[in-house]
Structure 1
Amino acid sequence: MNKYTLGAVAGALTCTFALEAAATEWNVSVWGKRRAFTEHVEKLAELVSEKTNGEFTMNISYGGLSKNRENLDGISIGAFEIAQFCAGYHPDKNRVITVLELPFLGVENLEQEVAVSNAVYAHPAAVDEMAQWNAKLLMTSPMPQYNIVGTGEPRDELAEFDGMRVRATGGIGEAFELVGAVPTSVTSAEAYQAMESGVVDTVAFAQHAHLSFGTINQADWWTANLNPGTVNCPVVVNIDAYDSLSDAEREALDSSVSEAIDHYLVNYGELLKRWDTVLEEKGVEKVMLSEKAIADFRAKAAAPIRDAWIADMESQGLPGQDLYDLVEKTLAEAKSGS
């Protein structure tokens, strides 16, 4: 091989390595299995790859990179570039966004949940707190109001919650505790086993999670209208990784968020439409609590937990009242269509 041929080969190899180096590949840590709760993450990866002609790709791992309670820690050290977590798993690490987990906020649908989450995520206090973990809030994982499944006789009166062992986290868990229930914060992946073994009597989840984690298969009944609140589960990106993106890559990522959320909403909407059919197929009784029972639950839980949360945040130097007012204002605007 002459020197000209060697030069051509070397040049080709250099070009190939340069192209490979130019490609961006991110790792994404979620858990469980692909389900309605992760469809926006899947769509985000798809859109980013399309917009960059495959030069920016995401490898989505369902539990292979980290445990769900350790995803924020993994982001902080750069173990992966994107992760999903739920605020109730470690409220001391993400105090600001726990305002979205207060019970009985009055959120009526997923679109309103997106609106209030986006407002809180953009608040300087939320931005600053996440930055302490080298994390940037990218998008929410909107979920409907939680309801509980249980075994045995339906619990359709508030008095029957006394002593009830329930898998519930965050503000929902606090609400159940105030009416005499005993909340436990086992992870979503552990909920089925906890229910099967009798560690808990009931499990509070959104519909997709009752399906995905199998708790619906253990259930004799499901509360259709308790609606005590929901959990907030953001998707975050490592700040260093985000800052290292090229302008074109960052634009591809940022512009795909709203599209990914729209896809999520449509997909989740289809699940909600067939929920009654799922209950019928699995022989699960649909329980409706009386308006009085729900009003009593709200009276015992909503204001006390809200006031305690605001006081706690303010005592830590965080704008608790301002954050709660922001949720109220944003929700009112979303309901009025303004």
Structure 2
Amino acid sequence: MRYGLMLVMVAGLSAAATSVSAQTLLRFADYSANRGIRAKFVQEFLSRIEEGSEGRIQIEQHWGGSLLPATEIFEGVKNDVASLGTVTAGYSPENLFAYRVGDLPVRNPKEVPGALALYELATTNPIMKEEFDSQGVVYLLNYSVGPIQMICAGEPLRGVDDFNGRKVRATSDYGKIYATFGAIPTSIPLPEAYQALDTGVIDCSQAYGYVVEAYKLDEVAKSFTEINGGTIQSNGIFMNKAEFDALEPKDRQLIVSLGREYTQKIAQAIHDRNAAVTKKMADKGIKVVQFSEEDLARLDEASKPIIDEYVSEGTARGVDAASLVAAFRREIATQNKAYKQ
């Protein structure tokens, strides 16, 4: 009887030990604070992984750059300092040339179709997949901010000619594009935009609806222009490939499935917030205007040199960037037809 009981106890201890040893601890790194729309859904995404794995995976979350700063997260994931983390292509341009296609100034006016277009490209396009595989990382999901808009302290930008002589805060290549129409780009950080608009240091600031709300830019603005052209979209979550491959097949499939689901959820939430904030501004008397198709066509024309430069850089790297840009445009069109936002 005692011998049988001992066998049961040993078996139980063995099972418990197996359970403990099978648990995987992942370290997640993000450079932003754990608040706001994106952070809310990222935390939910990570919790869903833990729950769906039935305890096999636990995720330790490091926010606000506490594990790695923004400029080091990609290398940190690549070298397994972090198991997974939020990566912005602009901080690792040499490593993520192909992924940077999502930041190009191509027509991409809707949050959900745009996010899904880049997601599909990143998970199916051979050039993109080779870029990730060769560096030992796995792409999991994409973030969306929405199309780039402009908030102004004075009269609205009704068209591209209204950029002439305006001091504008613009990021990425968009400052160069607006400069072709006479704008004076500035590199003021977003947290300083409120004071800059209020004191006349700048006339307009690049913004999205939810950013206007977060930084209270509507308090010092009289107009908001919905350009609805391009966006900056090469931001998402990447995972160390060795750690991903070491997971059980069902857990890998879980993460992949949740990645697509949350790419769409985050984009939809951003769309809803952007729309709500724009309506709120209009209701309080801020003039809201939209660019015409003619003005968008002129923006497209002014954007061509930047896209050509990207293609030339690809040629120097031995990458067919022209086909990548074409594939991205096709995917945006496909997603816009499939998803009526």
Task: State TM-score, norm by structure 2.
Answer: 0.81
For structure 1, the residue ranges without an aligned partner over 5 or more in a row are none
Q: Check conservation: 1:107, 1:331, Cα contact below 8 A.
A: yes
Q: 1:317 to 1:216 in 2, by over 3 A?
A: farther
- Tell me the residue number matched to 1:331: 332
Give the Cα–Cα distance (whole angstroms) in 1 for the partners of residues 62 and 325 of structure 2.
Answer: 34
Give the Cα–Cα distance (whole angstroms) in 2 for the partners of residues 42 and 321 of structure 1.
Answer: 36
Please say if 1:227 is aligned against 2:229.
yes
- Tell me the residue number matched to 1:22: 22
Give the Cα–Cα distance (whole angstroms) in 1 for the partners of residues 40 and 222 of structure 2.
Answer: 29
Q: Check conservation: 1:172, 1:228, Cα contact below 8 A.
A: no
Give the Cα–Cα distance (whole angstroms) in 2 for the partners of residues 38 and 274 of structure 1.
Answer: 19
**Shift in Å, 1:160:** 4.1
- Tell me the residue number matched to 1:116: 117
Please say if 1:178 is aligned against 2:180.
yes
**Shift in Å, 1:23:** 1.9
- Tell me the residue number matched to 1:66: 68
Task: State TM-score, norm by structure 1.
Answer: 0.81
- Tell me the residue number matched to 2:191: 192
After TM superposition, the structure 1 = structure 2 runs for residues 310-325 of structure 1, keeping only pairs within 5 Å, are 310-325=311-326
Q: 1:193 to 1:108 in 2, by over 3 A?
A: closer
SS of residue in 2 equivalent to 1:234: strand
Q: Check conservation: 1:147, 1:223, Cα contact below 8 A.
A: yes
Q: 1:58 to 1:211 in 2, by over 3 A?
A: farther
Q: Which amino acid aligns with 1:192?
A: P
Q: Check conservation: 1:48, 1:252, Cα contact below 8 A.
A: yes
Q: Check conservation: 2:138, 2:238, Cα contact below 8 A.
A: yes
Q: Check conservation: 1:43, 1:260, Cα contact below 8 A.
A: no
After TM superposition, the structure 1 = structure 2 runs for residues 104-253 of structure 1, keeping only pairs within 5 Å, are 105-121=106-122, 122-162=124-164, 164-183=166-185, 190-197=189-196, 201-253=203-255
**Shift in Å, 1:147:** 0.7
Deviations 1:8-67 (A, max 9, x none): 999977765553332222222221343333444223212212212233132333312222
Give the Cα–Cα distance (whole angstroms) in 2 for the partners of residues 112 and 241 of structure 1.
Answer: 30
Deviations 1:160-216 (A, max 9, x none): 424545443334344234334354567xxx412255257755432332333335544
Give the Cα–Cα distance (whole angstroms) in 2 for the partners of residues 253 and 18 of structure 1.
Answer: 23
Give the Cα–Cα distance (whole angstroms) in 2 for the partners of residues 68 and 100 of structure 1.
Answer: 18
- Tell me the residue number matched to 2:80: 78
Give the Cα–Cα distance (whole angstroms) in 1 for the partners of residues 284 and 88 of structure 2.
Answer: 28
Q: Which amino acid aligns with 2:143?
A: S
Deviations 1:96-143 (A, max 9, x none): 12222221x222423321342024313222222234543211111133
Q: Check conservation: 1:167, 1:184, Cα contact below 8 A.
A: yes
Identity of aligned pairs, percent? Answer: 18
Give the Cα–Cα distance (whole angstroms) in 1 for the partners of residues 294 and 8 of structure 2.
Answer: 82
Q: Which amino acid aligns with 2:115?
A: V
Q: Which moved more, 1:310-319 or 1:58-67?
A: 58-67
Q: Check conservation: 1:98, 1:170, Cα contact below 8 A.
A: no
Give the Cα–Cα distance (whole angstroms) in 2 for the partners of residues 312 and 124 of structure 1.
Answer: 18
Q: Check conservation: 2:29, 2:84, Cα contact below 8 A.
A: yes
SS of residue in 2 equivalent to 1:222: strand
- Cα root mean square deviation, aligned: 3.5
Q: Check conservation: 1:28, 1:81, Cα contact below 8 A.
A: yes
Q: 1:109 to 1:194 in 2, by over 3 A?
A: closer
Q: Which moved more, 1:111-120 or 1:287-296?
A: 287-296
Give the Cα–Cα distance (whole angstroms) in 1 for the partners of residues 227 and 277 of structure 2.
Answer: 14
Q: How many residues align?
A: 332
SS of residue in 2 equivalent to 1:54: coil
- Tell me the residue number matched to 1:55: 56
Deviations 1:278-297 (A, max 9, x none): 32577643243455444433
Q: Check conservation: 1:119, 1:326, Cα contact below 8 A.
A: no
- Tell me the residue number matched to 1:36: 37
Q: 1:241 to 1:141 in 2, by over 3 A?
A: same
SS of residue in 1 equivalent to 2:85: strand
Q: 1:23 to 1:167 in 2, by over 3 A?
A: farther
Q: Which moved more, 1:322-331 or 1:279-288?
A: 279-288
Give the Cα–Cα distance (whole angstroms) in 2 for the partners of residues 151 and 227 of structure 1.
Answer: 21
